Amino acid sequence: MNHFELRGGELACEDVPLARIAEAVGTPVYVYSSATLERHYTVLRDALMGAGLGEPLIAFAVKANSNVAVLKTLANLGAGADVVSQGEVRRALAAGVPPERIVFSGVGKTAGEIEFALRSGVAEINVESEPELKLVDQVAQALGVRAKIAIRVNPDVEAGGHAKIATGKADNKFGVSFSEAERLYVNASNAAGLSPVGVACHIGSQITDLAPMEAAFTKMRGLVERLRAQGLAVERLDLGGGLGVPYFNMPTPPSPADYAAMIGRVMKGLDIAFAFEPGRVIAANAGVLVARVQHVNTRPEGRRFLVLDAAMNDLLRPAMYEAYHDIRPVRPRDGEPVTYDVVGPVCETGDTFTRDRALPPIEGGDLLAFMTAGAYGAAMASEYNSRLLVPEVLVKGDQFAVVRPRETYEDMLARERPAPWL
Ligand code: LLP
């Protein structure tokens, strides 16, 4: 459920018409609904708690939506943060996420990033390989601290979904095998700079079938039990993110209640603190990208292109993953649906949001909303073609705030320097 609905014939975010935001801020612009973010977080938390998983750490995956105001909205409800870079640690801290609720994942953390995370007091560094374990140990010893770490395991399951976002197969770059995990856990418990607190996994994103998750989580439980049988303390089990969302024409994903019930079943009787790293399921349907139609270009042979002022640099998912986003006119016109190709102004054919999409009749100047764009939308935006980085707006009830203003051309050029010989 989300809070983007037609009100008096036009699409609104909570109590604010999207057209009003487009007028005030210009287009393209991302618009997020606080009520939807809050609802998604609360529904997931209640489902997990209702399934007997105690009071889990729900560390929002900052990569999905890294806007500080969005992070703060979630932090105010008690969310933690799953981060993958120093920049994300800084964003989480800036949003007021307590360091003891920050989990640091990622296969290539640098010594500098590890040092920053340890100095900040993050809850746990999820270690993804043996060389990384050694690096964390060295950095921690140099600082005179013990780094709390979890070993990220690659459970070797096929999660379905797009190959570019599957992370849980043995040939992906993420995590270590189960046998290696046991060895590394023992090594970590003997290392002067390390304090192993748990194990972690994350098998992929936009997962619409519980079976691969169940298989992975069952294996994770086995690992915890084997480690404990060796007398090792395992306090935390981090089950990652990955739960899919409905992108309109996709297979219906399992509900948070079904997801939680499955985990409750698999983990029954296991006394451990659970952590989760959800991104998409919280943020995707809490955001839209609003764009304006520049032209309707109808070719003599019949193909109709809607040329927008938004492009692949603003919303990369269709170009990168052939992703489907529902597209809705902000003020739908009456009439029979018409088939359009929806494209941006960037100079490559990949800058196509969709082909042959049936939409209500559209005219130049109309506003369109790309739905389900609150996760991996603005966070993946760039300035490709020297287009200004897209702004972001947060709505709460009848109020809205620009939480990232549109860059200016002066900002863009001021970041660069001439070489001394030029
Ligand atoms: N934890 C880890 C370690 C991850 O790598 C990810 C996502 C998450 C949590 C959050 O997963 P979620 O709950 O959002 O599925 N750009 C792609 C998605 C990449 C996901 C990468 N990892 C897209 O636009 O579909």
Candidates 215, 214, 228; CA nearest to 258 is: 214
CB atoms closer than 10 angstroms to residue 266: 18
Shortest-distance atom of ligand 1 to CA 320: 24
Which of the listed residues 249, 281, 313 is the one where a domain comes to its end? 281
Whether 343 maps to a domain, the answer reads yes
Judge if 175 and 298 occupy the same domain: no
| Same-domain status, 9 and 66 | no
Q: Are residues 185 and 288 in the same domain?
A: no
* Residue 357 lies in domain: 4-32+284-414
Same domain assignment for residues 325 and 368: yes
- Tell which of 251, 281, 311 closes a domain: 281
Q: Per-block average pLDDT, block size 10, for the chain (422 residues)?
A: 92 98 98 98 98 97 98 98 98 98 96 98 96 98 98 86 68 86 97 98 94 97 98 98 87 93 98 98 98 96 96 98 96 97 96 98 98 98 98 98 97 96 96
Which of these three, 281, 313, 344, is where a domain ends? 281
Using CA positions, which residue lies closest to atom 5 of ligand 1?
202
What CATH number should be reported for the domain holding residue 370?
A: 2.40.37.10
What is the CA angle 22-28-29, rounded to 5? 65
Contacts of 349 (CB under 8 A, 6+ apart): none
Please choose from 280, 320, 324 the residue to mutate so as to test ligand 1's pocket, defined by most ligand atoms within 8 A of CB: 280
Locate 323 and state its tokens. Answer: 């992703």
> Domains in the chain: how many in total?
2
For residue 23, tell me if it sits in a domain: yes
pLDDT of the residue at 43: 98
Q: Is residue 131 part of a domain?
A: yes
Ligand 1: which atom is nearest the Cα of residue 277? Answer: 9
Instruction: Write the residue with the smallest CA distance to atom 16 of ligand 1.
Output: 376
Let me know whether 62 and 139 are in one domain.
yes
Count of CB atoms situated within 10 Å of the CB of 17? 16
Instruction: Report which protein residue has its CA nearest ligand 1's atom 23.
Output: 376
Which atom of ligand 1 is nearest to 167's Cα?
A: 5
The answer to whether residues 112 and 256 belong to one domain is yes
HSE of 322, CA atoms in CB hemisphere, 13 A: 5
The reply to whether 200 and 84 lie within a common domain is yes
Residues 12 and 81 occupy one common structural domain: no
The pLDDT value recorded for residue 2 is 85
What pLDDT, on a 0 to 100 scale, did the predictor assign at position 160? Answer: 67
Per annotation, catalytic residue among 192, 229, 347, 422: 347
Residue 422 lies in a domain: no
Query: 277, 282, 324: which to mutate for ligand 1, most atoms within 8 A of CB?
Result: 277
- Pair (262, 358) in one structural domain: no
Q: Convert 342-379 to b/e letters by CB count within 10 Å (16 or more is b).
A: bbbbbeeeebbbbeebebeebeeebbbbbbbbbbbbbb
- CATH code of 206's domain: 3.20.20.10
Q: Which atom of ligand 1 is nearest to the CA of 316?
A: 24
Measured between alpha carbons, how far is 320 from 303 in angstroms, rounded to an integer? 24
| Cα 138 to averaged position of ligand 1 atoms, centre (Å) | 29
CA dist 339 and 356 (Å) reads 5
Instruction: Say whether 176 sits in a helix, a strand or coil.
Output: strand
**67 SS3 class:** coil
Please confirm, yes or no, whether 347 is among the known catalytic residues: yes
In angstroms, the CA 173 to CA 305 distance is 39
> In terms of C-beta density within 10 A (0-12 exposed, 13-18 middle, 19 or more buried), how is residue 78 classed?
middle
User: What residues line ligand 1, using a CB cutoff of 6 Å?
Assistant: 61, 64, 82, 105, 165, 167, 202, 205-206, 240-242, 277-281, 317, 321, 375-376
